[in-house]
Structure 1
Amino acid sequence: MSILDDLKYTFRQPDNTLKQLIIINVLVYLVFLIIGTPLGWMGYGWLERMALYYLSLPSEPMAFLFKPWTLITYFFTHEGFFHILFNMLNLYWFGMIITEYLGSRKLLSLYVLGGIAGGILYMIMYNVMPVFVERNISGLLIGASASVLAIVVAAATLLPNYTLNLLIIGPVKIKWIAAALVLMSWALADDSGGNAGGNIAHLGGALLGWVFIKQLQRGNDLGRPVLAVTDFFTNLFKRKPKLRVSHRRATSSARTNGSTTTSRPGTPDQNEIDRILDKISSSGYESLSKEEKQKLFQASQKD
């Protein structure tokens, strides 16, 4: 099986969002690396810089009006090796947690909404805060850090006592990892830090991750618009099956007063899921019974 076949298989698999997000980020990085290097040798490095410009989110509102797609494309674009390495490692570690307990579709919602929230906060701060306005500071934003930090904070909000074994340090609860990353971004979110815009975007993503889980625990899924849009475009390119007409006799159990009903036995309702999420938030995932874990898993498959 070729690399292209492997990629096709990965994107055809259902509930495979984590791998798909990592592959998209890595492919964009590799395209710039593989094509941009020889362009620089031949004196055409400006072509790479121009392509990067049209994928990067600008801080100036007028520039954004001419390329609004950058509010999405910027969080799939990286330039430095360590930049993409650390982002993809954190996306994998914490994305696995979100996928396991909330499902792949919630992970996609967090990634997209976290990136959008980070980008919007970045543009607002650069055009409202005096420290940036008076010094006429502007810039371009790239990288998935805001999206990734939204996922990190969401996982820590949902399962604060979940423990990861870090190299050298050892076991650490993810609430402390999330707190350290947020505090680091807060400390560096000034114009003297060299990456003020990036750290401001991190804070926007972190806030979104916290709000997303808190709203989910109240029964409100902020990711529904994202899923509606992605489902629309997915269905546009999905091959429609051929229609087949078949006839079979209806059983007496399928007919009640001339109507037919179907149900999914064992599927938990929203109130039950909210109760389980509240229990996780207060006592940790380990406090759930086997039956409650199964119900949470069933609910994640439902989306």
Structure 2
Amino acid sequence: MNILDDLKLQYKLGGVAHRLIYWNVACFLISLIFFYGFQTGSFSYPSWVALSTNPADFIFKPWTFLTYAFFHEGFWHLAFNMMVLNFASQLFLTFFTQKQFLGLYVLSAVFAGIVFVASYYFMNISTAIVGASAAIMAILVAVTTYQPLMQVRLLLIGNVKLWHITAVILILDLMQFRTENMGGHISHLAGAFFGFVYIKALQNGSDISVVITRIIDLFANSFRKSPSTPFKKVHKNYSKPVEKRASRIVTKDKVQQQIDEILDKISQSGYDSLTKEEKDFLFKSGK
């Protein structure tokens, strides 16, 4: 029970990156229950979860351009992706906001999915893809484009420049481009390209991630209650007495101050020293 409470606390206090890791792990656990074949030893994802190159699937199930980025083919596939996501997110969030992180993650996943589907459609190959690698590559390449010379300390290696790490990962993708997982590597490179374009656009004053922020804000505002109207009546009833009371107090203070001045003059120089206006004022105020 303590472990569960700790996980809940970390989820609440953690940022968007930690929550994405939780969502990926949760989706993997769900896939073990519903999509894993213990006899075959592999996953069999339905067309409403994985992104398929079959037009009949992705046209009528457009949400798969995003859902595919939350499921994985195996434990090590998940573990490596989450390790790189944790690493890249810490660097990215050093310079950018949580909203920019989420926006880039979602948009890069969709962009990489479109490139994957288009590539295989023109090659006349029918297949499907799952995995968060493309979105993670976008995060890593984005922060590398922004700060390529950042020093990163790696276990057993020491300090290396960030662009060295990113270059090694990209080279490995290119070396495996003609393997069985060609579609995965196409999406990786597409995600990397999107991360590069995102930073260049941001440096030119255009933040592409605001598209996702506005969509989220639109849904969030639709569930908020509009302020109730009775507050207007309270404001009106409260403001009028205050204004009147304030004006009377000010008037009274001015009259009293003038009377006090006249009385001081009488005490010092006598009643005959008063002017006609002062005598008339004192006479009227005494009524």
Q: TM-score, normalised by structure 1?
A: 0.68
CA distance in 2, matches of 1:89, 1:194: 24
Residue 100 of structure 1: how far off its partner (Å): 1.8
State the SS of the aligned residue for 1:171. strand
Work out whether 1:61 is the aligned partner of 2:60.
no
Task: Output the amino acid matched with 1:196.
Answer: M
For residue 183 of structure 2, the aligned residue among 166, 187, 197 is 197
CA distance in 2, matches of 1:101, 1:204: 23
Residue 4 of structure 1: how far off its partner (Å): 7.2
Give matches, 1:202-281, under 5 Å.
202-236=188-222, 240=225, 245=231
Structure 2: stretches of 5+ with no match in the other structure: 240-287
What do the CA deviations read for 1:115-157 (whole angstroms, capped 9, x no partner)? 11111111111122xxx33xxx321110000000000100100
Residue 68 of structure 1: how far off its partner (Å): 1.2
Please report the RMSD computed on the Cα atoms of aligned residues, expressed in angstroms.
Answer: 3.0
Partner of 1:32: 31
Partner of 1:21: 20
For residue 178 of structure 1, the aligned residue among 166, 182, 190 is 166
Task: Output the amino acid matched with 1:66.
Answer: F
Q: Which structure 1 residue ranges, 4+ long, deviate > 4 Å from structure 2? A: 1-13, 34-37, 240-249
Work out whether 1:154 is the aligned partner of 2:148.
no
Residue 180 of structure 1: how far off its partner (Å): 1.6
Are the aligned partners of 1:10 and 1:16 in contact in 2 as well (CA < 8 Å)?
no
Structure 1: stretches of 5+ with no match in the other structure: 250-303
State the SS of the aligned residue for 2:59. helix
Residue 57 of structure 1: how far off its partner (Å): 0.4
What do the CA deviations read for 1:57-93 (whole angstroms, capped 9, x no partner)? 0112232112111001000111211111111111111
CA distance in 2, matches of 1:5, 1:236: 31
Residue 8 of structure 1: how far off its partner (Å): 6.3
Task: Output the amino acid matched with 2:168.
Answer: A
State the SS of the aligned residue for 1:66. coil
**For the structure 1 residues 24 and 236, does the alpha-carbon distance in structure 2 shift closer, same or farther, using more than 3 Å as the test?**
farther
Work out whether 1:76 is the aligned partner of 2:45.
no
Residue 10 of structure 1: how far off its partner (Å): 5.8
Are the aligned partners of 2:111 and 2:190 in contact in 1 as well (CA < 8 Å)?
yes
Work out whether 1:87 is the aligned partner of 2:81.
yes
* Greater RCO (Cα-Cα under 8 Å, separation 6 or more): 1
CA distance in 2, matches of 1:156, 1:27: 29
Task: Output the amino acid matched with 2:86.
Answer: Y
**For the structure 1 residues 36 and 71, does the alpha-carbon distance in structure 2 shift closer, same or farther, using more than 3 Å as the test?**
closer
For residue 112 of structure 2, the aligned residue among 99, 108, 118 is 118
Are the aligned partners of 2:134 and 2:191 in contact in 1 as well (CA < 8 Å)?
yes
What do the CA deviations read for 1:239-288 (whole angstroms, capped 9, x no partner)? x5976948699xxxxxxxxxxxxxxxxxxxxxxxxxxxxxxxxxxxxxxx
What do the CA deviations read for 1:28-81 (whole angstroms, capped 9, x no partner)? 0011224556x747x9x99x73x5432100112232112111001000111211
What do the CA deviations read for 1:192-227 (whole angstroms, capped 9, x no partner)? x01000000001100000000011011000111111
CA distance in 2, matches of 1:30, 1:159: 36
Are the aligned partners of 1:186 and 1:200 in contact in 2 as well (CA < 8 Å)?
no
Larger Rg: 2
Partner of 1:260: none
Number of matched pairs: 234
Task: Output the amino acid matched with 2:136.
Answer: V
**For the structure 1 residues 219 and 59, does the alpha-carbon distance in structure 2 shift closer, same or farther, using more than 3 Å as the test?**
same
Are the aligned partners of 2:100 and 2:210 in contact in 1 as well (CA < 8 Å)?
no
Residue 173 of structure 1: how far off its partner (Å): 1.1
CA distance in 1, matches of 2:226, 2:155: 49
**For the structure 1 residues 234 and 24, does the alpha-carbon distance in structure 2 shift closer, same or farther, using more than 3 Å as the test?**
farther
Q: TM-score, normalised by structure 2?
A: 0.72
CA distance in 2, matches of 1:70, 1:6: 32
Residue 12 of structure 1: how far off its partner (Å): 5.6
Residue 163 of structure 1: how far off its partner (Å): 1.9
